[in-house]
């Protein structure tokens, strides 16, 4: 940054950090309650798509008996991930279940009726991960179906592989957990610090990075203490408390807070030699490599004013939200059910929705917490401009989108929006700004697909026209050639005839001359 930029920043924000918001974190008492384990539900509905890529392909049949950890469905492509059985039992259906998405649309899922034994599949004894080549370590992580547990659910092995190729020097572990209400990472760091540190060491081995920094918001002193104690033996791993500020858990923002650098708009942290992973992912890596256990369960925060006993629960993947809520007891019918945090989580259409690998929390919010107001007119107070951690103009962007001028919104930086929700959170007029941006992004993606289709159709049409033209041209050329050939033949015949006639004439003349001489 140049000097002018520093002066501008000082005039605009004063000294120090300025982005984001400080929501009431409401993490306690849920964060302090001891970790519980969900009693095994009768049935588990394991979706085939719990990652950003294509859905996995089932390799089991209805009626087949499976053991916990057995492969149910295979990854399809690089950004897909394996899906394993979360308990032992019988496959009773390969059908559909409502996806954890506000649309309430169905997704493909395998239903396991539990036998109650919860018996793990026999696996070969785990080998020392440090004796493996980095590539083989990543392959094992991929086989275990580990995806990023911070919410993006990007396949972890792929990310580690990218890191290896990009020659990264530092691994940042995201223990920010900046979303209010959520404490699953906090609980994990308090209870499984040694396992996380071990997972981090394996990840360092898999990427070739020299050091790891664990970024934890300073509102989690117990987690910081536990992780610091566990990391003490390893000089290459350090715990870095960061200010509690939303969205500190955003990859680029945590990176900036720890390194003081900024990720260029068209780049990734790996371009700057840094790879960011969630602490939960490190735990999953440890489980996969040390115990040969694929990712079949996770810690889920149960919180919100409507929950009688808030806290963190170990939940098998595929358990229904209704099972989890029944265990934690509801005090009242919630006004809103959310999967994930209140800032970026998605509204649940109902409770018959499965917990997936990326589910960090289930929030049952009361009417007072959900704070639903009717939107009013924008008063241009620019609170959203000050809150935006990316430096956008939410009020201007939403005005363009409301007027269907999507390109105007793109010019203002719509594509840089991370949908963190800071703008909507502070808006005194309760304008659903993120709703506008999500709508515009979806619309633009649809337009992009249409454009691709149109381009393809145009290419095909052009190719067809060219082919027809070529055919006609070739036909005409062939006809012309044939005509020329005919003409030539005719000419030749004519010439031959003439020659013959001449010869004949000459012959006759000769004959006559012979006669005359």
Partner 1 sequence: MTGFVATAPLASPHAHSGGRVTWVMGKVMLALAPATLYGFWLYGWPAIHLWVITILFSLLGEAFCVRLMGRRAIPVLMDGSAALTGWLLALSLPPWAPWWLGAVGGLFATVIAKQVFGGLGQNLFNPAMVARVALLISFPVPMTQMVAALPLGSVGAPDFVQGLRITLAGMPNYDAVASASLLGHAKTELSRGIDLVQTFASANAPALSFIGARTGSLGETSALLIAAGGIALIFLRIITWHIPVAMLLGIALPALIGHAIDPARYLGAGTHLLSGAAMLGAFFIATDYVTSPNTRLGQLVFAFGCGFLTWVIRTYGGYPEGVAFAVLLMNALTPAIDRLIKPRIYGRDRKGKPMELPEEKA
Q: Does 385 bind partner 1 (CB under 8 A)?
A: yes
Alpha carbon distances (Å) from 180 to 199, 244, 301: 26, 10, 11
Q: Report the residue number, 61 or 333, with the smaller CB distance to partner 1.
A: 333
Of the candidate spans 9-17, 118-126, 192-200, 444-452, the one that interacts with partner 1 by CB under 8 A turns out to be 9-17
- Residue of 275, 389, 398, 406 that binds partner 1 (CB under 8 A): 389
Instruction: Provide CB contacts within 8 A for 264, sequence distance 6+.
Output: 271
Instruction: Provide CB contacts within 8 A for 191, sequence distance 6+.
Output: 35
Strand partners, 98: 106
What DSSP line would sit under 78-129, residue for residue?
Answer: TT---EE-SSSEEEEEEEEEE-SSTT--EEEEEEEEE-S--PBPP-PPPPPG
Q: Does 281 bind partner 1 (CB under 8 A)?
A: no
Nearest to residue 364, comparing CAs of 308, 297, 319, 430? 308
- Residue of 212, 363, 401, 406 that binds partner 1 (CB under 8 A): 363
- Residue of 48, 302, 317, 365 that binds partner 1 (CB under 8 A): 365
- Residue of 349, 366, 408, 410 that binds partner 1 (CB under 8 A): 349
Nearest to residue 392, comparing CAs of 413, 420, 408, 415? 413
What is residue 155's DSSP assignment? B
Q: Does 383 bind partner 1 (CB under 8 A)?
A: yes
Q: Does 293 bind partner 1 (CB under 8 A)?
A: no
Q: Does 275 bind partner 1 (CB under 8 A)?
A: no
CB of 83 closer than 8 Å to CB of 50: yes
Q: Report the residue number, 216 or 348, with the smaller CB distance to partner 1.
A: 348
Beta strands 65-66; 89-98: pairing state: antiparallel
Alpha carbon distances (Å) from 244 to 178, 216, 306: 7, 9, 26
Q: How far is the CB of 64 from partner 1 (least distance, A)?
A: 30
- Residue of 282, 325, 355, 362 that binds partner 1 (CB under 8 A): 325
Site for partner 1 in 198-257 (CB under 8 A): 252, 256
Applying CB under 8 A, the site for partner 1 has a residue count of 85
Site for partner 1 in 10-29 (CB under 8 A): 11-13, 21, 23
Structure tokens at 197: 């540190």
Q: Does 338 bind partner 1 (CB under 8 A)?
A: yes
Q: Does 77 bind partner 1 (CB under 8 A)?
A: no
Q: What three-state secondary structure class fits 312?
A: strand
Q: Does 108 bind partner 1 (CB under 8 A)?
A: no
Max CA distance (Å), the chain: 142
Q: How far is the CB of 384 from partner 1 (least distance, A)?
A: 9
From residue 139 to residue 178, the character string flagging contacts with partner 1 as x (rule: CB under 8 A) and all else as - is ----------------------------------------
Distance CA 416, CA 390 (A): 7
Q: How far is the CB of 471 from partner 1 (least distance, A)?
A: 48
Q: How far is the CB of 15 from partner 1 (least distance, A)?
A: 14
Q: Does 515 bind partner 1 (CB under 8 A)?
A: no
Buried-exposed string 216-239: b where 16+ CB fall within 10 A, e elsewhere: bbebbeebbebbbebbeeeeebeb
Q: How far is the CB of 398 from partner 1 (least distance, A)?
A: 12
Q: Report the residue number, 183 or 292, with the smaller CB distance to partner 1.
A: 183
Q: How far is the CB of 233 from partner 1 (least distance, A)?
A: 30
Instruction: Provide CB contacts within 8 A for 254, sequence distance 6+.
Output: 172, 174, 176, 215, 242, 248, 276
Q: How far is the CB of 9 from partner 1 (least distance, A)?
A: 8
From residue 395 to residue 424, the character string flagging contacts with partner 1 as x (rule: CB under 8 A) and all else as - is xx---------------xx--x--x-x--x
- Residue of 62, 152, 229, 265 that binds partner 1 (CB under 8 A): 265
- Residue of 267, 442, 448, 507 that binds partner 1 (CB under 8 A): 267
Q: Report the residue number, 208 or 349, with the smaller CB distance to partner 1.
A: 349
Number of Cβ within a 10 Å radius of residue 191: 17
Q: Does 370 bind partner 1 (CB under 8 A)?
A: yes
User: In sequence order, what E strands does 141-282 have?
Assistant: 170-175, 211-217, 237-242, 274-278
Site for partner 1 in 438-477 (CB under 8 A): 438
Instruction: Provide CB contacts within 8 A for 64, sequence distance 6+.
Output: 90, 91
Q: Does 106 bind partner 1 (CB under 8 A)?
A: no
Q: Does 346 bind partner 1 (CB under 8 A)?
A: yes
Distance CA 44, CA 316 (A): 8
């Amino acid at each position: 940054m140049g000097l002018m930029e520093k002066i501008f920043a000082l005039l605009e924000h004063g000294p120090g950090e300025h982005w984001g918001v400080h929501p009431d974190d409401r993490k306690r008492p849920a964060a302090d309650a001891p970790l519980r384990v969900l009693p095994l539900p009768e049935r588990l509905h394991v979706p085939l798509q719990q990652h950003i890529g294509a859905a996995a392909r089932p390799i089991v049949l209805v009626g087949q008996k499976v053991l916990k950890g057995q492969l149910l469905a295979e990854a399809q492509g690089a950004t897909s991930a394996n899906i394993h059985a979360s308990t032992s039992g019988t496959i009773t259906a390969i059908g559909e279940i409502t996806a954890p998405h506000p649309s309430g649309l169905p997704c493909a899922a395998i239903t396991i009726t539990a036998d109650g034994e919860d018996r793990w599949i026999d696996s070969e004894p785990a080998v020392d991960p440090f004796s493996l080549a980095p590539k083989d370590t990543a392959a094992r992580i991929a086989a275990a179906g580990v995806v990023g547990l911070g919410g993006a659910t990007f396949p972890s092995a792929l990310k580690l592989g990218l890191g290896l190729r990009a020659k990264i020097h530092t691994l940042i572990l995201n223990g920010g957990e900046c979303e209010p209400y959520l404490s699953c990472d906090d609980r994990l760091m308090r209870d499984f610090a040694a396992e996380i540190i071990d997972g981090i060491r394996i990840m360092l081995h898999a990427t070739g990075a020299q050091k790891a920094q664990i970024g934890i918001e300073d509102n989690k002193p117990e987690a910081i203490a536990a992780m610091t104690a566990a990391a003490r033996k390893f000089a290459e791993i350090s715990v870095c408390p960061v200010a509690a500020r939303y969205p500190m858990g955003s990859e680029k923002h945590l990176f900036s807070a720890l390194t003081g650098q900024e990720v260029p708009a068209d780049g990734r942290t790996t371009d700057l030699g840094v790879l960011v992973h969630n602490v939960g992912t490190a735990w999953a890596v440890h489980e996969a490599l040390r115990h040969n256990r694929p990712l079949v369960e996770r810690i889920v925060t149960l919180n919100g004013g409507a929950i009688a006993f808030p806290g963190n629960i170990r939940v098998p993947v595929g358990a229904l939200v209704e099972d989890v809520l029944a265990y934690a007891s509801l005090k009242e019918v919630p006004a809103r059910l959310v999967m994930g945090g209140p800032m970026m989580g998605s509204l649940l259409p109902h409770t018959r929705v499965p917990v997936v690998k990326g589910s960090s929390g289930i929030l049952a919010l009361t009417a007072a917490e959900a704070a639903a107001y009717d939107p009013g007119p924008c008063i241009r107070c620019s609170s959203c401009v000050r809150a935006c951690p990316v430096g956008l103009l939410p009020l201007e962007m939403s005005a363009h989108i409301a007027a269907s001028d999507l390109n105007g919104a793109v010019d203002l930086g719509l594509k840089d929006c991370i949908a963190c929700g800071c703008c909507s959170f502070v808006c005194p007029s309760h304008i659903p700004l993120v709703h506008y941006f999500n709508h515009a992004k979806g619309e633009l993606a649809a337009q992009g697909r249409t454009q691709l289709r149109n381009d393809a159709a145009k290419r095909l049409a052009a190719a067809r026209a060219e082919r027809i033209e070529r055919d006609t041209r070739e036909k005409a050329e062939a006809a012309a050639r044939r005509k020329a050939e005919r003409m030539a033949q005719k000419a030749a015949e004519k010439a031959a005839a003439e020659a013959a006639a001449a010869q004949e004439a000459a012959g006759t003349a000769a004959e006559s001359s012979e006669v005359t001489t």
